[in-house]
Chain A
Amino acid sequence: MQTQSSRWLGHGLYLVIMAILVSGVYFAGQKINYSWHWERLWPYIINTESQDIVAITDGTAVVDKAGRLSVLPDYGDDPQLVKVYDTLVARDGDLIFQGDTIARIEGWRFGPIAEGLWVTIKISFISLIFAVLLGVMFGLMRVAHGQVWRNLAMTYVEVIRGTPLLVQIFIVYFFVGTVFDLDRFTSGVAALSIFTGAYVAEIVRAGIQSVSAGQMEAARSLGMNYVQAMAYVIMPQAIKRTLPPLAGQFINLIKDSSLVSVISITDLTKAGREVVSGSFAPFEVWFTVAVLYLVVTGGLSLLIQCLEKRLSVSD
Chain B
Amino acid sequence: MIDPVKEQSSQPALIQAHKVNKVFPNGCHALKDVSLDVQPGEVVVIIGPSGSGKSTFLRTLNQLESITSGRILLDQVDLTDKRTNINKVREEVGMVFQAFNLFPHKTALGNVMLAPMKVLKQTKPEARKTATDLLNRVGLADRMGNYPTRLSGGQQQRVAIARSLAMKPKVLLFDEPTSALDPEMVGEVLDVMKELAREGMTMVVVTHEMGFAREVADRVVFMEEGELVLEESPERFFHSDHPRLQRFLGQVL
Residues of A within 8 A of B (CB): 212, 214-215, 217-225, 228, 232-233, 236-237, 240, 313-315
Contact = CB atoms under 8 A, between A and B. Distances in A.
Interface string B161-180: 00110010000000000000
Contacts of B107: 314
Given A220-B90, A221-B164, 13 more contacts: A214-B101, A217-B64, A218-B95, A218-B101, A218-B102, A223-B91, A223-B119, A223-B120, A223-B167, A225-B87, A236-B105, A240-B105, A315-B149
B165 to A, nearest CB: 11
B147 interface: yes
Given A224-B115, A228-B119, A314-B149, A215 B90 contact: no
A237 B105 contact: yes
Contacts of B120: 223
Contact of B106 (A224, A225, A314): A314
B87 A223 contact: yes
Contacts of B115: 219, 222-224
10 contacts: A215-B101, A217-B101, A218-B95, A220-B64, A223-B91, A224-B115, A237-B103, A313-B147, A314-B105, A314-B107
A208 to B, nearest CB: 14
B138 to A, nearest CB: 17
Contacts of B88: 223
Contacts, number: 72
A233 B93 CA distance: 19
B62 interface: yes
A221 B90 contact: yes
A222 B147 contact: no
A14 B114 CA distance: 50
Most interface-central of B87, B99, B105, B164 (chain A CB within 10 A): B105
Contacts of A219: 103, 115
A221 B103 contact: no
Interface string B96-111: 0101011111110000
B94 interface: yes
Contacts of B62: 221
Contacts of A240: 105
Given A222-B167, A237-B105, A314-B106, A217 B90 contact: no
A212 B99 CA distance: 11
Nearest to A231: B118
Given A232-B114, A232-B118, A315-B149, A221 B104 contact: no
Nearest to B107: A314
